[in-house]
């Protein structure tokens, strides 16, 4: 994903598109230290080559979902009720009429979490859950679709280039299922200027504020 201080040609944003076409390769995208530990232990037992993506930033606070055992092709579902915010109750969140699923690579969990927290506080008509792409390849689409079909809209947040990325692939599959309320945030296929990780993400429009605004736009369109 986005890398701070290494220069415009050293961003880790091209790997998904480059490696997704390699036969028999597994590609995982972890979200936390515990998730990395579980996925690394699993990887050492495989006969196939395994690539594990991990972001260049501090680890987020662990939640129970990050300790779930690996299931090939399947991600980690984090309900918005897991994100505690002030005096907003679970029942208040569950009864909101507009339901959005944010699908993200593991390195974007922190920004997505911030965005969901803002949604809970500022938008009392929107509920946003999170599906983290622990597996980029292989991807269990049928399992994912059983989750996605319960939502009005799906927002993809990928810390890689959009062209040829996993979000593009899933969007096409959802479109074939007549799912139309979709949007993808990610990097364009160009070199980005040097900066901190937060600055690079903001340049690409995948920071927490951009995620929040995109959820609102999806609901209001």
Q: What is the mean pLDDT of residues 52-73?
A: 94
Q: What is the pTM of this model?
A: 0.95
Mean pLDDT of 61-78: 97
pLDDT in tens, 91-113: 788 788 999 999 999 999 999 99
C-alpha atoms less than 13 angstroms from C-alpha of 26 in its C-beta half-sphere: 22
pLDDT confidence of 26, banded at 50, 70, 90?
A: very high
- Confidence tier at 84 by pLDDT (50, 70, 90): low
pLDDT at position 56 is 87
Task: Please report the beta strands in the chain, taking only residues with DSSP state E, as ranges in sequence order.
Answer: 26-29, 50-53, 76-78, 98-104, 126-132, 135-137, 153-161, 182-187
pLDDT at 37 over 80: yes
| Separation between Cα atoms, residue 42 and residue 48, nearest integer Å | 11
pLDDT at 86: 64
Residue 220 in this model has a pLDDT that exceeds 70: yes
Q: 185 near 211, Cβ under 8 Å?
A: yes
pLDDT higher at 53 or 91: 53
Average pLDDT over residues 190-209: 93
Residue 213: which pLDDT band, with cuts at 50, 70 and 90? very high
Predicted local distance difference test score (pLDDT) of residue 136: 98
Average pLDDT score, the chain: 94
At residue 138, the pLDDT reads 97
Q: CA 185 to CA 165: how far, in whole Å?
A: 11
Per-residue pLDDT of 108-163, as tens digits, reads 999 999 999 999 989 989 999 999 999 999 999 999 999 999 999 999 999 999 99
DSSP 119-162: HHHH-TTEEEEEEE-SEEES--HHHHHHHHTTSSEEEEEEEEES
């Amino acid at each position: 994903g986005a890398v701070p201080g290494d220069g415009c040609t050293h961003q880790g944003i091209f790997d998904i598109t480059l490696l997704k076409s390699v036969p028999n390769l597994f590609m995982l995208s972890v979200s936390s230290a515990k998730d990395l530990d579980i996925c690394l232990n699993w990887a050492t037992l495989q006969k196939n080559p395994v690539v594990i993506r991990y972001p260049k930033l501090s680890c987020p606070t662990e939640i129970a979902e990050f300790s779930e055992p690996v299931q090939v092709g399947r991600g980690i579902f984090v309900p918005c009720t897991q994100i505690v915010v002030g005096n907003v109750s679970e029942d208040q969140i569950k009864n909101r009429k507009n339901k959005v699923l944010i699908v993200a690579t593991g390195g974007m969990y922190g920004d997505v979490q911030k965005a969901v927290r803002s949604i809970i506080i500022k938008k009392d008509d929107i509920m946003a859950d999170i599906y983290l792409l622990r597996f980029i390849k292989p991807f269990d689409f049928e399992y994912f679709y059983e989750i996605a079909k319960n939502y009005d809209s799906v927002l993809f947040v990928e810390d890689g280039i959009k062209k040829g990325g996993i979000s593009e692939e899933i969007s096409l599959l959802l479109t074939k299922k007549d799912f139309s309320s979709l949007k993808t945030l990610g990097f364009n296929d160009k070199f980005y200027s040097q900066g901190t990780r937060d600055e690079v993400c903001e340049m690409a429009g995948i920071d927490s504020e951009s995620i929040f605004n995109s959820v609102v736009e999806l609901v209001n369109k």
